[in-house]
Structure 1
Amino acid sequence: MDLGYHTICWGGVVGDATGVTSVKDLYYRTPGSMETAISDISAAGYTGIEMFDGNVADYADQPDVLQGLLAAASLELVSVYTGGNFVYGDLLEDELHRVSRSADLARQFGARNLVVGGGARRASGTTEADYAALAAALDQVTDIAEQRGLTACYHPHLTTIVESPDELDRLMPRTRIGFCPDTAHLVAGGGDPAELIRRYPDRIRHVHLKDVRLDPFAFLPLGQGVVDFSDVRAALGEVGYDGWLIVELDSYEGDPAEAAQISKAYLEQLLAS
């Protein structure tokens, strides 16, 4: 399995302000330096990266710049992350327009995977119809990705309507999109990531690794929290997964390069054991 790292740690995540009034223009974006992130990820020994759609979009009119940075660092853009509400009918057309734009960018820069989060929690409460709407939207996301030679996968996420194992089970039978387990989000949602990998063996398309401390809550470099990565590794082997492992750490109190190095050393030990 190849090892990659998400650029989110170099500044966290924000959304474009224009998206408040124009959903079609709402991208995820890390406000830090992508040049620094790419250099640090390469220096830590990873061979791939994942980026938010907004950061890739910044290079749409100057593709040679990003391609040059990746080539100089000997890194592959493995995946692009996007998302949406996906439960509001009136917004869906514009949200899928943005997903299509993100998929176009992913293809332009050679990525293999389109990773999608989402499923809004309504102020009035989640309904069963929301899961049906989310599933139908994710099938359309899958079509968009496949039309561009990409693999689409869904990333369960805190604050969405797919946090817990029960919520994941309400969604997965209704959609054909792939599954991107995120070890820390699954644990924080009350699940066991290894068990959920074994529950959906034919749906695993991409994997996000991060650790978590539950009290006080914090996402952490690998090996510093409560995630049982030995069992996660065993489960991935049992289901025959041989794709990318992407470390995705939302933030770090110190130098993000240090966090990347900590997780890389832990992964090397884990995979060698």
Structure 2
Amino acid sequence: MKNAELKIGCQTFTWEMLGERWRGGPDDLVRAIADGGYSGIEITDTMIGRYAAAPDAFARTLREAGLTLVSFAFGSGSGFTVREKIDVDVDAARRWIDFAANFSGALVSMGSATIVSDGPLADKFAIAAECYNRAAEIGKAAGVSVAVHPSSHHNTLLFTREDYDSLFALLDPQVGWVPDTGHILRGGQTMFDTLAAFRDRIRYVHLKDVDANGAWAMLGEGACDVQAVIAAVCGAPAFTGWVVVEEESDRAGSDPAAAVRANRETLHRFGF
């Protein structure tokens, strides 16, 4: 895939990090991401706001801003690992799949399986796999690809390469994967071995950076080989062409719009 065919999006979690300090809404996110030079947006259930029940209105807002919906991302208080909550989690997946179906090519990204209760880890992997597999089946019927986004945050079930192996062995082939460069590095994984091992599942990539100690860094200022990662994912058979930048560093916490704009400029310098 040539650089010109790559599409660069931005994830709204950068603003979500602010918690109660964030006083804006989805229109502010759309405006900041468009002004930052991006062509796509990945928004979360936490940040969709008034558009949650109005996909047509959100489509108009994106169209006016010149943005494409890359993916709709959501998580669960159950961490997708509580058996009694499987039906609730699958119903949530159905809701957001129905939302994403209004946007041509948009995916649904399900958050990382997370440990929120006691019990054997093997059971938690099995429960998470059931959630992801059932959601992907619903997505297939709706024409929406469903992908898993592992993280390295507190109590994640998907931190090391061994964790990835344990979950992915239980997933149907139709369940996609959103590799996140920052989380892969923080998990102590070998980036390109992991990307190669599950390349058939790659749908798009979350691009962010960490320093040698695993602390979040601005893109291009840490350990992530940005150009090599993009070259690697571009060879994946189901790669959609989207590279979604997500920023979690302290600079993003103080001024998200400036941070994501700076990251877009970094990618321009890298030739993307």
- TM tier relative to shorter chain: 0.7 to 0.9
Match of 2:243 in 1: 245
Sequence identity (%): 28
Match of 1:174 in 2: 170
SS of 2:41's equivalent in the other structure is strand
Distance in 2 (CA, whole Å) between partners of 1:47 and 1:184 is 22
| Counterpart AA for 1:99 | A
| Counterpart AA for 1:52 | T
What is the RMSD computed on CA atoms of the aligned residues?
2.4
User: Could you tell me whether the CA contact under 8 Å between 1:80 and 1:111 is conserved in 2?
Assistant: no
Distance in 2 (CA, whole Å) between partners of 1:60 and 1:230 is 35
User: Could you tell me whether the CA contact under 8 Å between 1:11 and 1:32 is conserved in 2?
Assistant: no
Distance in 1 (CA, whole Å) between partners of 2:23 and 2:137 is 30
TM-score (norm 1): 0.84
Match of 2:106 in 1: 112
Change (3 A) 1:13 1:145: farther
Match of 2:34 in 1: 42
Cα deviation digits, residues 17-70 of structure 1 (max 9, x gap): xxxxxxxxxxxxx86432222112112211100000243363144445423321
SS of 1:162's equivalent in the other structure is coil
| Counterpart AA for 2:260 | A
| Counterpart AA for 1:173 | A
Task: For residue 96 of structure 1, report the CA deviation from its aligned partner.
Answer: 1.0
The correspondence of residues 7-156 of structure 1 with structure 2, limited to 5 A, is: 7-12=12-17, 32-56=24-48, 58-63=50-55, 65-84=57-76, 85-110=79-104, 112-124=106-118, 126-156=120-150
User: Could you tell me whether the CA contact under 8 Å between 1:153 and 1:206 is conserved in 2?
Assistant: no
Structure 2 gap ranges (5+): 1-5
Task: For residue 228 of structure 1, report the CA deviation from its aligned partner.
Answer: 1.9
Change (3 A) 1:228 1:243: same
Match of 1:23 in 2: none
Cα deviation digits, residues 61-108 of structure 1 (max 9, x gap): 444542332122100111000123222211111111111111112223
Match of 1:262 in 2: 262
| Counterpart AA for 1:175 | L
Task: For residue 256 of structure 1, report the CA deviation from its aligned partner.
Answer: 1.6
Distance in 1 (CA, whole Å) between partners of 2:108 and 2:72 is 5
Structure 1 gap ranges (5+): 16-29
Cα deviation digits, residues 175-205 of structure 1 (max 9, x gap): 0211110000111111133321111121111
Task: For residue 171 of structure 1, report the CA deviation from its aligned partner.
Answer: 1.0
Match of 1:4 in 2: 9
Cα deviation digits, residues 206-230 of structure 1 (max 9, x gap): 2111112354x53233112221223
Stretch of structure 1 that moved more, 221-230 or 70-79: 221-230
User: Could you tell me whether the CA contact under 8 Å between 1:113 and 1:151 is conserved in 2?
Assistant: yes
> How many residue pairs were aligned?
257
SS of 1:55's equivalent in the other structure is coil
User: Could you tell me whether the CA contact under 8 Å between 1:195 and 1:235 is conserved in 2?
Assistant: no
